[in-house]
């Protein structure tokens, strides 16, 4: 029943929010692939990529790998020049070094598998290598729709210019990596839309979505100002897209309930064990608990919807086992669940503990889902936070805290306010940082109160020290400076190169 329950609940959450959150596959590269697919409305022609993947797939036989390389050369031998002229192809530099290197480049983010490009997302800066990989579960489409709604945001124009195919852009303007990958491509084909794909119901932008659009607007201003290496710009845009999905998913419980969003404490203590680290961990743990509670809330609403479809018109709690069966059956195209033993067991425990069935049963059903592998909303938030470089530690330790990597911190700062304009005083920046992302570092009097309200009281002296270390991190990134009058400012300092 666990798989059926995940399918049904996952379908409902995707209908409500526009992207799936019940699988553990999501990575920034998946979002990037889908974002480019939506922007360019095309996918790359896969013939040569398919041959390359077969020629380098570890599970293929040596003969099959060799045959795939031969077919690739026969299609476009002139593109490979002297690399394709070696009489002993099996031991040639093409087979032993060049093709494995190309696969390593394409699979840098660990999303290229076996010999099938259709279900892979490549680490590539060009629309020529966009695939139909559905692993993002519409997350990339969600971001593109968010950035396109109302006035189209400048960030999409930057993305489009950076990733135009070589046919649309002079070769002299193509980055080195795209130039290396061109021999693998054979143009693009228009994107075919799945008419059966669910479209979220149109609705006004929520407060969180407005903040995320503002973040993309500010990042675009930063990119226009620094004019860095195009690859660095592309990485930051993709990272912001991924962070946008993370923060959107993590705030669903609060927007639905119309309650204040949770506060997150950024840990700049550089210590595995400190009051700041413990408080940061507590704020993240609360975020995960909210995700579980939101799944239970959604499941409770789905069960309540069965009341109006039953002849008896009784509340679903009058016969919970039957209600769960009806809910699953109605949403799985008539496929009745094979076993409701988990429901029976949960009901027996609830009855023994004299708990409220309406409140407790959805919680018990949600607990059946494996959040450790990412196959729940809680797991989705956890894994995407790690893969965005926002949460730490990266190991399987379930206890996470907010310790952004340098590139992630740069993107968070650059999307908090317009860095192309005048710097902000540190205190004003911290206000903007909290209102944009819900993150505090301890440099404001309000931070201690917010943490107390969150059930995580933290000594004021430790918070002050944490804010000082955070400012030092910004200085090291070229995004802050202490002035002679002891006033600190945050902005794009003159000595930063933007890379």
Which comes out higher in pLDDT, residue 265 or 128? 265
Q: How far is CA 200 from CA 87, 144, 249, 251, 477, in A?
A: 56, 14, 15, 18, 39
Lowest model confidence (mean pLDDT) among 331-335, 383-387, 469-473: 331-335
pLDDT (mean) for 82-97: 87
Q: Reduced to 3 states, what is the DSSP secondary structure of residue 266?
A: strand
Mean pLDDT of the chain: 89
Residue range 43-59, pLDDT digits in tens: 988 888 889 999 999 88
CA atoms of 287 and 302, how far apart (whole Å): 23
Would you state the pLDDT for residue 335? 67
Look at 393-397, 465-469, 476-480 and tell me which has the smallest mean pLDDT.
393-397
Question: What was the pLDDT predicted at 176?
Answer: 74
> 17 in helix, strand or coil?
helix
pLDDT at position 498, please?
Answer: 41
Backbone angles phi, psi at 209, to 5 degrees: -65, -35
- Contact between residue 264 and residue 434 where contact means Cβ atoms under 8 Å apart: no
Residues facing residue 266 across a β-bridge: 402
pLDDT at 347 over 60: yes
Rounded CA gap, 65 and 115, in Å? 10
Cβ-proximal residues to 445 (8 Å cutoff; 6+ apart), any chain: none
pLDDT the model gives residue 455: 95
Neighbours of 209 (CB within 10 A): 18
Gap between the terminal Cα atoms of the chain: 49
How far apart CA 215 and CA 415 sit, in angstroms, is 4
Task: Please report which confidence band the pLDDT of residue 497 belongs to, taking 50, 70 and 90 as the band edges.
Answer: very low
- Tokens, residue 118: 């259709």
What is the reported pLDDT for 499? 41
**Tens of pLDDT along 431-468?**
999 999 999 999 999 999 999 999 999 999 999 999 99
**How far out from the chain centre does Cα 392 lie?**
15
In 3D space, the residue among 466, 412, 465, 458 whose CA is nearest the CA of residue 441 turns out to be 466
Task: Write down the H helix ranges in 199-274.
Answer: 207-226, 230-250, 252-257
Which of the two residues, 197 and 356, has the higher pLDDT score? 356
Average pLDDT score over residue span 91-111 = 91
- Range with lowest mean pLDDT among 328-337, 384-393, 429-438: 328-337
Token pair for 79: 């593109």
The mean pLDDT of 256-284, rounded to a whole number, is 93
The residue behind tokens 């239970």 is 296
Checking if the pLDDT of 477 tops 80, the result is: yes
Q: Is 152 exposed, middle or buried (0-12, 13-18, 19+ CB in 10 A)?
A: exposed
For 327, the token pair is: 């809910």
* Structure-token pair, residue 56: 């380098």
Q: Percentage of residues in the chain with pLDDT exceeding 70?
A: 92
Number of H helices, E strands in the chain: 21, 9
Q: Which of 217, 239, 145, 230 is nearest to 416 (CA)?
A: 217
Per-residue pLDDT band at 200 (split at 50, 70, 90): low
Mean pLDDT value of segment 70-75: 88
Does the pLDDT value for residue 222 go beyond 60? yes
Q: How many CA atoms lie within 13 A of 395 on its CB side?
A: 2
pLDDT at 304 over 50: yes
Question: Is the pLDDT assigned to residue 266 strictly greater than 60?
Answer: yes
Q: Please say whether the beta carbons of 159 and 31 come within 8 A.
A: no
Q: What is the pLDDT of residue 495?
A: 47
Q: What is the pLDDT of residues 130-175, one digit of tens each?
A: 999 999 999 999 999 999 988 999 999 999 998 887 666 666 677 7
pLDDT value at 310 more than 90: no
Per-residue pLDDT reduced to its tens digit, 172-196: 677 777 777 777 787 888 887 765 5
């Amino acid at each position: 029943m666990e798989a059926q329950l995940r399918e049904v609940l996952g379908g409902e959450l995707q209908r409500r929010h526009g992207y799936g959150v019940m699988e553990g596959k999501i990575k920034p590269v998946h979002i990037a692939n889908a974002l480019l697919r939506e922007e360019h409305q095309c996918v790359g022609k896969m013939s040569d990529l398919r041959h390359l993947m077969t020629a380098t797939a570890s599970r293929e036989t040596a003969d099959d790998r060799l045959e795939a390389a031969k077919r690739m050369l026969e299609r476009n031998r002139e593109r490979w020049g002297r690399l394709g002229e070696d009489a002993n192809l099996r031991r040639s530099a093409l087979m032993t070094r060049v093709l494995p290197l190309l696969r390593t480049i394409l699979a840098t983010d660990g999303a290229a598998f076996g010999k099938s490009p259709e279900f892979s997302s490549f680490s590539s800066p060009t629309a020529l290598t966009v695939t139909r990989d559905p692993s993002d579960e519409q997350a990339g489409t969600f971001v593109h729709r968010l950035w396109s709604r109302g006035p189209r945001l400048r960030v999409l124009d930057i993305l489009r210019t950076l990733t135009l195919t070589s046919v649309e852009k002079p070769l002299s303007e193509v980055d080195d990596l795209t130039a290396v990958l061109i021999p693998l491509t054979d143009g693009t084909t228009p994107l075919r839309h799945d008419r059966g794909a669910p479209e979220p119901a149109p609705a006004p932008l929520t407060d969180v979505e407005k903040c995320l659009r503002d973040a993309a607007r500010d990042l675009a201003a930063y990119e226009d100002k620094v004019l860095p290496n195009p690859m660095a710009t592309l990485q930051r845009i993709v990272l912001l897209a991924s962070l946008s999905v993370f923060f959107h998913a993590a705030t669903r419980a609060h927007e639905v309930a119309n309650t204040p969003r949770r506060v997150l404490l950024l840990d700049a203590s550089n210590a595995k064990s400190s009051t700041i680290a413990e408080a940061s961990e507590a704020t993240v743990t609360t975020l995960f608990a909210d995700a579980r509670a939101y799944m239970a809330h959604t499941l409770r609403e789905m069960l309540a919807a069965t009341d109006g479809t039953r002849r008896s018109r009784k509340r679903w709690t009058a016969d919970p086992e039957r209600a769960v069966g009806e809910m699953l059956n109605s949403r799985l195209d008539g496929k009745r669940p094979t076993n409701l033993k988990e429901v029976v067991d949960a009901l027996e425990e609830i009855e023994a503990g004299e708990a409220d069935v309406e409140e407790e049963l959805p919680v018990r059903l949600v607990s059946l889902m494996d959040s450790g592998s990412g196959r729940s909303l809680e797991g989705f938030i956890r894994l995407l936070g790690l893969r965005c470089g926002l949460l730490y530690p990266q190991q399987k330790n379930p206890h996470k805290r907010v310790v952004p990597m340098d590139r992630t911190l740069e993107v968070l700062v650059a999307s908090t306010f317009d860095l192309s304009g005048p710097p902000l005083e540190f205190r004003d920046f911290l206000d903007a940082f909290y209102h944009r992302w819900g993150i505090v570092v301890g440099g404001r009097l309000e931070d201690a109160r917010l943490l107390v309200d969150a059930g995580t009281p933290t000594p004021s002296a430790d918070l002050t020290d944490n804010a000082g270390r955070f400012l030092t991190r910004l200085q090291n990134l070229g995004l802050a400076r202490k002035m002679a009058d002891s006033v600190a400012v945050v902005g794009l300092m003159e000595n930063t190169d933007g890379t």
